[in-house]
Amino acid sequence: MKSRNWVRLFLSTLLIGAVSTIIVGFAVKWNEYKDLFLASDIIEILLVVLWLIGVGFIFSIISQMGFFAYLTIHRFGLGLFKRVWNPVQIVLIAFVFFDLVYFRYQFFGKEGDSITPYLIIAIVILIFGLIIAYIKSKQTNKGAFIPALFFMYVVSIVEWMPAIQVNENSWFYLMLFPLLICNAYQLLILHKILNKKS
C-alpha cells in the first residue's frame, strides 16, 4: 500500500470513529445529556462532543492497530497452517464465542440471572460479522469469507476487552459499536484502496 493511501485510510477511519462515537455516545447516555439539549447549553454540548471525538479517535486507533495486527497474523497463519488455516480460524471463532458468553456470565452474572442477555450480545456481534464477511466475499472472492468473519468477530472482541472487563453498560456499548463500524469500514475498503493506481 502506498503511503498516501495508508494516510487516507488512517484519517478516514479516524473520522468514522469520531462520528460513530458521537452518535453512540449521545444514544447510550441520553438520560445524562438530554438536559443539556433542553437547556440549550451550547458550551456544555460542545464540550461533550469534543470529549466524544477524543474517545472516538482512541477507539479508531485501537481498531486500526487490531486491523494491521490481524493482517500480519493472517499472513503468518497462511504460512504456518497453509490449507488448515481456515478451519483453525473457525475453531477460534467458536472458542471466542463460548468464552464471551460463558466467562462473562461466570464473572458478572448474579445468582438467578439468565444467561440469555450474555448469549444475545455474542449472537448479535456474530450476525453482524457474518453480514460484513458476506459483503466482503461478494466484493472480492469466496475465500475472503472466513478471514473476514474471524477479523470481525475475534479481533473485534479482543479490541473490546477493556470495556468487557469494566462491564459498565454505557462503556460497554459506547466502545462496541464504533469498533465494529471502524473494523467493518477498514475491511470493506481495503481492497478498493489496494486496487487504486494512485
Mean pLDDT confidence for 13-42: 85
Least-confidence region, from 59-63, 113-117, 119-123, 185-189: 113-117
pLDDT at residue 107, as a whole number: 83
Band of residue 128 on the pLDDT scale cut at 50, 70, 90: very high
pLDDT at residue 197, as a whole number: 55
Give the closest residue to 119 by CA, choosing from 98, 93, 133.
98
Band of residue 196 on the pLDDT scale cut at 50, 70, 90: low
Whose cell is 478516514? That residue is 12
pLDDT over 70 (residue 4) = yes
| Distance in Å from the first CA to the final CA of the chain | 10
pLDDT at residue 61, as a whole number: 96
pLDDT over 90 (residue 177) = yes
CA distance 178 to 57: 10
Mean pLDDT confidence for 10-35: 89
pLDDT at residue 1, as a whole number: 60
Q: Exposure of 38 by Cβ count < 10 A (0-12 exposed, 13-18 middle, 19+ buried)?
A: exposed
Instruction: Quote the percentage of the chain above a pLDDT of 70.
Output: 96
CA distance 182 to 108: 27
Q: For 115, list phi and psi in degrees, rounded to 5.
A: -80, -10
Please give the residue that has the higher pLDDT: either 44 or 184. 184
CA distance 115 to 126: 17
Neighbours of 115 (CB within 10 A): 13
Please give the residue that has the higher pLDDT: either 45 or 56. 56
Q: Model confidence over 140-170: pLDDT tens digits? A: 888 899 999 999 999 999 999 888 887 777 7
Band of residue 176 on the pLDDT scale cut at 50, 70, 90: very high
Q: Model confidence over 60-95: pLDDT tens digits? A: 999 999 999 999 999 988 888 888 999 999 999 999
